[in-house]
Structure 1
Amino acid sequence: MSIPFLSLALDGPQLVELLADDAAIRRWDELPSAFSVLGVERVDGSGAREATVDASVAAAILAGRTTRARFLVAASPTRDHPYNLARRVASLGHLSRGRSGVIFGDHDPYAPAGDPWTTTDVGFTRGEQIADALRAVRALEQSWPYESVVGDLDTGIFVQSNLIRHVDHDGLHRTAGPLTVPEPPAGASVTAWLATDRVPAIPGDETDLVIGAGGAVRIVDADAAEAWSGEASDGGGLLLLRGASRLHARGTARRGRVAGRPDAPGGRRAVAAGPGPVRPVPSRRRPGRLSPAPTPCGPLTAIDPGPSR
């Protein structure tokens, strides 16, 4: 029997509760989970909550107050242009030292109706729109390679500008030029996709990780998790818990041990899902990674933040 990887999905109220409690943040940071999805209701089609916080803002705060936790930040290309998303993704990669990534999915319930950023009148599906934004974000983050920043005092050369690439993305979204933020030192951030009925999974070579139907991560409601047998699906992978009314993750002997995964071939960490191209810059084929790699662990213990406020 394969040992799955446990990951957590936190919605708006859970993020608000987590950010308000230093002890809960410390316990969350110590969890032996593969990663957490921040702001899951922005990508899973479940609708708005009574309270929320921007996932990238929450991630910036948590990156500075943790050392181990890995997280994927929910992105909304109907609210933010891919260029702005790429700047946030790259900045978080620097702040977290490689522990962050970005996840795309269904329509953000907090975003205004309509789509101000696409540049064509030709009909397209929601999935095609998000996939196009994902390609633009991935290419932009890698347009200013970290190794180009040399800071050579002897020659006076700060950046080897010949290594910087223009990403003139001309799809459903348009961008011009490189990003204004260098690539994170740890390399490209993980890109993930949460598949729903309205937004099915895209081909595996388009993104590092697919969660949900057809993906490497099986979605299980945390409130029903005790019924889970402990067996991995599809030969192993990750188990994503969501839907808990309180911020918690509980492991039992009956459910089996939850373990981390060693580095995967190709240098990626816990979310390796096969090599994917960097588009539209085919000469830079860098898959995303999350650092550090999860370590083997025993059953998860509860991280109850205390009475709800």
Structure 2
Amino acid sequence: MAAPFLALGLTGRAVLQLLDDSTLVAEWDALPLAFTILGVDRFDGRVGRAQPTIDSSAAAAVLAARTTSARTLVAAAPRRDHPYNLARRVASLGHLSAGRTGAVFGLPDSDVAIIDPWVASGTVADRSAAAHHVASAARAVRALERSWPLESVVGERDSGIFVRSGQIDHVDIDETYRIAGPLTVPEPPHGPSVLAWYGDPAADGVPDVADDVDLVIGSAGQPIVAIGLGDEVPTDATGTVLSAAVDGGDVDVADLLHAARQLLADGVTATDSTLPLRDALTLAIAPRVPRRAAFPVPQPHPWL
């Protein structure tokens, strides 16, 4: 059996440390990692406990401009950002990074009672209800990002048609979130962004979300597991996320990169650094779901 690929999970504090040190950025970019989660502390229950956090999408945009190979998953925060805005950020990052980015959804280990400004019910009283909100956001981001196919942008000088707008779809979502769509950003050139779920969908009460995302990370029995610094890498895992989050603090980024470098030297499979994230993980693209057209079929300009 092939050794598992390696990924990293950076907390908000670790991301800030990385952004502040160009040497660390260069070392991180040089490692043949599958991806790095930016803001993994959103899923370990420490956000809101005087721990610094970050806007993962903004950090990903800055890091994409300063690197050539590093691939990232941004920790999505649907309780702060409406799924429509999340989808715009995720799709925009896909364009800016040439397919090196995606998003990860999940739940914190504690403090699940929330006031969600984007849904009618507002207060979420238990973990299962919160998970359904987050899973709905993930499905909405996927549907929105695919509502405007990139191949519809044709720029035909002869006909005067810039976009074959009849190929752009409404998403018509009427679940936890009500969204008509479509998105105002076309799908990235390397296909839809990679979406992941951090945790155990069955334990979270949303087992079906595994069918709506590309990866499930961090739960026992899943192909991709999360471990801490010094933990043994499972031999039966498809992939391993080495996390900077530890009880009571964070691992120094330099120490985390050193540990990752050692694991790669010890035989953990390196990932081709030249590939977009979806290709690096050999993830298939699901067929586009037929939906209601958002615009009529464009006609050539009469003066052409």
TM-score category of the 2 structures, normalised to the smaller one: 0.7 to 0.9
Who is 1:142 aligned against?
146
| Aligned residues: CA RMSD | 3.1
Q: CA deviation at 1:33?
A: 0.7
Report the AA paired with residue 187 of structure 1: G
Partner of 1:183: 187
In structure 2, the partner of 1:216 is: 223
Matches within 5 A, 1:99-248: 99-107=100-108, 113-120=114-121, 125-195=129-199, 199=204, 202-203=207-208, 204-213=210-219, 214-222=221-229, 224-225=230-231, 228=232, 230-233=233-236, 236-242=237-243, 243=245, 245-247=251-253, 248=256
Q: Given the alignment, which residue of 241, 258, 261 partners 2:268?
A: 258
CA shift for structure 1 position 218: 0.9
CA distance 1:201–1:167, shift in 2 (3 Å) = closer
Amino acid at match of 1:258: V
Any idea what SS the aligned residue of 1:187 has? coil
Cα displacement (A) at 1:163: 0.6
Report the Cα distance in structure 2 between the residues aligned to 1:174 and 1:126, rounded to whole angstroms. Answer: 17
Tell me which amino acid in the other structure corresponds to 2:163: V
Gap change, CA 1:277 and 1:146, over 3 Å in 2: closer
**SS where residue 269 of structure 1 aligns?**
helix
Structure 1 residues 201, 261: CA separation in 2 closer, same or farther (over 3 Å shift)?
farther
In 1, the alpha carbon distance for the partners of 2:148 and 2:262 equals 46
Cα distance per residue 1:155-185 (max 9 Å; x no partner): 2111000110011111101111200111111
Q: Which has the higher strand share?
A: 2
- SS of the equivalent of 1:59 reads helix
Is the Cα contact below 8 Å between 2:135 and 2:206 reproduced in 1? no
Distance 1:201 1:25, change over 3 A: farther
- Cα deviation for residue 255 of structure 1 reads 8.1
Q: Which residue is equivalent to 1:29? A: 29
Whether the aligned pair in 2 keeps the contact of 1:209 and 1:273 (CA below 8 Å) is: no
Deviation per residue, 1:242-283 (Å, 9 max, x gap):
135111232447983121357xxxx943445677576xx357
The structure carrying a bigger helix percent of its residues is 2
C-alpha contact 1:82 1:137 (8 A) present in aligned 2: yes
How has the CA–CA distance of structure 1 residues 112 and 57 changed in structure 2, closer, same or farther, with 3 Å as cutoff? farther
Distance in 2 (CA, whole Å) between partners of 1:149 and 1:110 is 44
- CA distance in structure 2 between the partners assigned to 1:46 and 1:65 by the alignment: 28
Against the structure 1 CA distance between its residues 150 and 30, is the aligned structure 2 distance closer, same or farther, given a 3 Å change threshold? Answer: same
Q: TM-score, normalised by structure 2?
A: 0.80
Give the conservation status (yes or no) of the 8 Å contact 2:33–2:271: no
Structure 1 unaligned spans of 5+: 284-309
Q: Deviations over 1:102-146 (max 9, x none)?
A: 000114999994111123589861221111111110000010110
3-state DSSP of counterpart to 2:179: coil
Deviates more, 1:8-17 or 1:237-246: 237-246
- Whether the 8 Å contact between 1:205 and 1:276 is mirrored in structure 2 is no
2: distance between equivalents of 1:19 and 1:158? 39
Alpha-carbon distance in structure 2 between the residues aligned to 1:253 and 1:217: 16
Relative to structure 1, the CA distance from residue 90 to residue 78 in structure 2 (aligned partners, 3 Å threshold; closer, same or farther) is: same
- SS across alignment from 2:269: coil
Letter of the 1:199 counterpart: D
SS state at 1:143 partner: coil
d(CA) in 1 for partners of 2:110 and 2:234?
34
Distance 2:281 2:130 in 1: 25
- Judge conservation of contact 1:118–1:172 (CA < 8 Å) in 2: yes
Instruction: Please tell me the residue identity of whatever aligns with 1:172.
Output: T
CA distance in 2, matches of 1:77, 1:254: 34
Structure 2: distance between partners of 1:174 and 1:245: 40
Aligned length: 272
- The one-letter code of the counterpart of 1:246 is D
Question: Is contact 1:205-1:274 (8 Å) kept?
Answer: no
Mapped to 2, the partners of 1:99 and 1:67 lie a distance apart of 9
